[in-house]
Amino acid sequence: MSMLTQLQDAFQRAILDGDSAIRDAVVSNDAADASERVGVYVHAYTARLVEALRSDFPTLRFAAGDAVCADMLRDYVAATPSVHRNVRWYGGGLAEFLRQHSPWSDTPAFANVAAFDWAIGLSFDAEDEPCAGEEDIATLPPERWGEMLLRLPPHVRLFACEWNVLEIRQAHDRGQNAPSMRPLARPQTSIVSRQSGQVHYRQLAADEAAALTVVAAGAPFVQMCEALCDWHAQDDVALRAASLLKAWIGNGWIASVALPD
């Protein structure tokens, strides 16, 4: 191993692990000693990660406040070494970190809000792909519609809200004051999707949420119809299923329609 490589490794250990060996290779001067000079880079590394997370989790910052959010993000950075070359993916574990680690786990809303922010980011960054049209369904034999498999595109995300996450995000988007975080009487499923380069989100009706959950699981159309039977009379299910399917296609929520091999 060359001297330069050893120096680079020591510098990396100082930043990531707090190893002090690099200080012996750093020259002190009148402005700062070796520890202070190394400390500038250690602080900068953490600060850059925190700043990246602040950009990725705007709803969390809005709900928690700048000071509290900064504390939780610094805790996450301290506990979570980055393994990604692209900092965009560094925050993927934040929601779970907040769910499991005190004092943040004492406020479960933080994890739910963070997960919603991450879903929005994933939807925005999702790869573009063509979506299915009504003509794709028209080509299928009607007697085989029950076998039909619908696939959601990557930008479509189903999200379980246990707290008033949508209310908080709407207030953020409208430039209003942040409402207090409060638990919902029962979990509600929302959808996050992208249209014309813009991410949209809304709460789903209970029957639509159940139907989309079946689709997301890769189950055939007949199972989606069976799920709708929990909300609708059997004679009304076909009309409701067709109405939902038409709306989903219009929204760009269906990537493909196919029959099993």
What percent of the chain has pLDDT above 90? 74
Nearest to 244 by CA among 120, 137, 124, 155: 137
Q: Which has more confidence, 21 or 88?
A: 88
pLDDT of residue 45: 74
- Count H helices and E strands in the chain, helices first: 11, 5
Instruction: Look at residue 35 and tell me if it is in a domain.
Output: no
Helix-, strand-, coil-residue percentages of the chain, each rounded to 5 = 60, 10, 30
Instruction: Look at residue 158 and tell me if it is in a domain.
Output: yes
pLDDT of residue 15: 54
Instruction: Look at residue 143 and tell me if it is in a domain.
Output: yes
pLDDT of residue 5: 56
How many independent structural domains does the chain possess? 1
- Contact at 8 Å (CB) between 220 and 148? yes
Instruction: Look at residue 86 and tell me if it is in a domain.
Output: no
Instruction: Look at residue 255 and tell me if it is in a domain.
Output: yes
Instruction: Look at residue 117 and tell me if it is in a domain.
Output: no
CATH number of the domain enclosing 198: 3.90.930
Q: Which of 33-37, 98-102, 150-154, 253-257 has the lowest mean pLDDT?
A: 33-37
Nearest to 250 by CA among 150, 123, 145, 131: 131
pLDDT tens, position by position, 137-182: 989 998 899 999 999 999 999 999 999 999 999 999 999 999 999 9
- Structural domain of 237: 129-261
How far is the C-alpha of 45 from the C-alpha of 13, rounded, in Å? 12
pLDDT tens, position by position, 44-96: 678 888 999 999 999 999 999 999 999 999 999 989 988 878 889 999 999 99
Instruction: Look at residue 89 and tell me if it is in a domain.
Output: no
Residue 232 reports pLDDT greater than 60: yes
Instruction: Look at residue 99 and tell me if it is in a domain.
Output: no
**Cα-based angle 254, 121, 55 (whole degrees, multiple of 5):** 165
Q: The whole model's pTM is what?
A: 0.84
